[in-house]
Amino acid sequence: MPYGFHGKILHVDLSAGTLEIEEPAEEFYRFYLGGSAMATQYVLKNTPAHADPLGPENTLALMVGVVTGAAISGNSRATACAKSPLTGAIGDAQSGGFWPAELKFAGFDGIVVYGRSPKPVYLWLHDGQAELRDAAHLWGRLTGDVEDTLKAELDDNKIEVLQIGPAGEKGVRYASLISMKNRANGRTGMGAVMGSKNLKAIAVRGKQKPAVADPKALKELARWGAKNFPDSNVAGMGKYGTAEVLMGQQKSGGLPTKNWSSGVFDGAEAISGETMYDTILRGADEGKQDRLGRDTCYACTVRCKRVVQITEGPFPAEHEYGGPEYETLATFGSYCGVSNLPAIAHANQLCNQYGLDTISCGATLAWAFNAYEEEMITLADTGGIPLNWGNADSMIKLVEMIGKREGFGDVLAEGSARAAGRIGRGSEALVVAAKKQEFPAHMPQVKRSLGLIYAVNPYGADHQSSEHDGTLEGGFKWYKDRLAQIGFTEQQEKYSLGDEKVRFAMATEHTYSALNSASVCQFVFGPSWHLYDMEQFAATVRAVTGWDMTVDELQTIGERSVNLQRAFNAREGLTRDDDTLPKKLSKALKGGRSDGFNFTPEQLETAKDAYYAHSGWDAATGNPTRAKLSELGLDWVADAIE
């Protein structure tokens, strides 16, 4: 018997209505760990080249990792992978909560979904059993309603439900998967893929907790985390959530504002983590927000999830839909010039009810606001809805219309790049996306290696695919011992993008891909400011699985994952020419500490040359070479993409 996992992957063919359990060997688990790497290899093997992302031939893989469900912080996350309807490349979306751990306890390490059901169904997994059930009565309903209905129907309040909302049913290209009514596998449109398969939900419950190889060592690591958390760099996240960083971004000129025209926002304080804590966090009116306004994932000591509650006024928010993360505060706030915190909280709730990615949704709206202000979009286009900066009422109206694909919402449901293609009139120049995926709220103009990663990341612009620049700049003095574990011993200059910074971007991309493959939280484990360092991450994998895992082996698994994803894209015909940044980044920012900053195509091309060279990829195409794939044990991938 393996430790930490079951050795069971469920394969569901929705066209045929069949369920099969695969029992891969232990070596398979050690080779991929789970999460992104394992999911991608299933998608690559089972999705034909050039498949329609919303057609039955696309494969959707949902994977947890070998350590998922272990009793230590940060060990309940899951990856969703498929060909993305937003980017046309590999899709990858991560989420935490309780669903990942409960899937493991239900007896499975992952689910691979094929085909398309002739009618809406949901999947019910419990204690090693799996069955498909009719979901006609759930179709068209909001997430909160569906979760409550399934819990009542299955007569168990403790089941966990991963589902799509109406946006996924309607094929919104950035539809998300939602669990707990407020956790999202948000990015790259995995909700639309699940919707295209007529699969409404996956309910899980069980008591099959896998044995741990060294319970004493695991307990020791968990104890260390709980003891050191109050003095750690993530303690602030415990109080303000990810919104803790908003005012720091503003100070550095790195808070994207008015569709990336500036890095500073006049209304920053009004939408900050501090204001949220003082005003709308659940229990704030009685000073009980530390108890009522925080939520967590399975067994996590950090408790970084915010819960808001607004009972009066035009923008109510129910606590069960959680609260806005930093990215959501920025995309619906500073991106759109909106400083109305309740409106942002309400937009967050609508996204969780309809199953929409808050980043792509808010950023697509920001593009529309920008185009309206530039008179490229008119009231005739929007159906009479004015899109002047800061118009919270219009923003809220459009989020709901996107979720339903109604009116102008149907255009915006395509994402900013396709919407601009449809509208034209020069609005294409206002799109801020890479591989058609909208930028998250960290600015390459002030975090330059992140610009490279936004361009080269296989699933489009993403802020959780590498370590940000500050760690190797001013932060180096605090993190040098930790950074040495992955081979970085020299501090780099602020705003630099020399060869060492490029190597840092690539190596930490491998680190983050390893975290996504083990399916652990990137706030808990990581190479610098995180609660646990990379040696402790390796020690956690050792304690759970009994394998002699090292940091080097983890880095190699992360590299394997990145190469698998780039190989998928190569087979789809993507090349170096698809690793681009939007034109808008060439324009100088206005105001604050980043006044005059830009990021030019020439700077990107130089960085790409160095990045491909360090990666061992072909400089002309930007694709993995046979030699590199072979070195990573992926000869079958080289054969598959040729």
Which residue ranges make up the site for ligand SF4 (CB under 6 A)? 73-74, 96, 296-297, 300, 302-305, 521, 523-524
Q: Closest separation between CB of residue 179 and ligand SF4, Å?
A: 12
Tokens 């109305």: give the residue: 340
Closest CA to 183 of 199, 196, 165, 195: 165
509, 466 contact by CB (below 8 A): yes
Q: Which is nearer to ligand SF4, 171 or 225 (CB)?
A: 225
Q: Which is nearer to ligand SF4, 302 or 538 (CB)?
A: 302
- Structural element, H or E, at residue 589: none
Q: Which is nearer to ligand SF4, 300 or 534 (CB)?
A: 300
Closest CA to 624 of 639, 604, 602, 605: 639
The structure tokens listed for 401 are: 């219309």
Report how far residue 426's alpha carbon sits from residue 79's, in angstroms, rounded to the nearest whole number: 37
Q: Tell me the CA distances in angstroms from 80 to 39, 55, 301, 570, one per residue in order.
A: 7, 17, 25, 20
Amino acid 587 reads K
Going by C-beta distance under 8 Å and a sequence separation of 6 or more, which residues neighbour residue 417?
Answer: 428, 431, 433, 436
Q: DSSP assignment, residue 107? A: T
Amino acid 531 reads L
Q: Closest separation between CB of residue 240 and ligand SF4, Å?
A: 12
- Structural element, H or E, at residue 44: helix 35-46
Q: Closest separation between CB of residue 144 and ligand SF4, Å?
A: 20
Q: Which is nearer to ligand SF4, 96 or 342 (CB)?
A: 96
Q: Which is nearer to ligand SF4, 178 or 521 (CB)?
A: 521
Q: Closest separation between CB of residue 304 and ligand SF4, Å?
A: 3
Q: Which is nearer to ligand SF4, 73 or 492 (CB)?
A: 73
Q: Closest separation between CB of residue 74 and ligand SF4, Å?
A: 5
Closest CA to 521 of 96, 72, 43, 31: 96
Count, residues in the chain: 642
Q: Which is nearer to ligand SF4, 408 or 523 (CB)?
A: 523
Q: Which is nearer to ligand SF4, 64 or 452 (CB)?
A: 64
Q: Closest separation between CB of residue 181 and ligand SF4, Å?
A: 15
141, 201 contact by CB (below 8 A): no
Q: Closest separation between CB of residue 302 and ligand SF4, Å?
A: 4
Phi, psi torsion values for 220, nearest 5 degrees: -65, -45
Q: Closest separation between CB of residue 307 and ligand SF4, Å?
A: 12
Q: Closest separation between CB of residue 540 and ligand SF4, Å?
A: 13
274, 280 contact by CB (below 8 A): no
Phi, psi torsion values for 276, nearest 5 degrees: -60, -45
Q: Which is nearer to ligand SF4, 100 or 166 (CB)?
A: 100
415, 174 contact by CB (below 8 A): yes
